[in-house]
Amino acid sequence: MKLYRQVVVFLKKKFPQKHPVSIRRTNISNLYDGDCSIKNKTFKIRINKKLPEYAAIDTLLHEYAHCVAWDKCSHEGHCNEWGKAYSKLYRAFLKEFIDY
């Protein structure tokens, strides 16, 4: 999970949010890979601990996009602004880590 940890640091440094972002790999339901919420002015991202590294990174990018677009989506989830944020994060990830 070395690359995963590097991506966590990269996201927090390159895309800081107005609220702190807590990211944890944890045992969560097998029905989903991750989630994002806000509590006490802190974004909480949970990533399913059972995911292999590549899937954990993909899920992390997906959930971090929720933080980026949180105020713009009215908490609807996958609005247009979320899609733009996800695309921007994914392109930055590819550029930084995948020699794209």
Domain spans in the chain, listed from the N-terminal domain onward: 2-97
Class of the CATH domain delimited by 2-97: alpha beta
- Three-state SS at 26: strand
Identify the weakest region by mean pLDDT among 53-57, 74-78, 94-98.
Answer: 74-78
23 exposure class (CB count in 10 Å sphere: 0-12, 13-18, 19+) = buried
Query: Which pTM value belongs to this model?
Result: 0.93
pLDDT at 99: 76
Q: Please determine, for residue 17, whether its predicted confidence score (pLDDT) is greater than 90.
A: yes
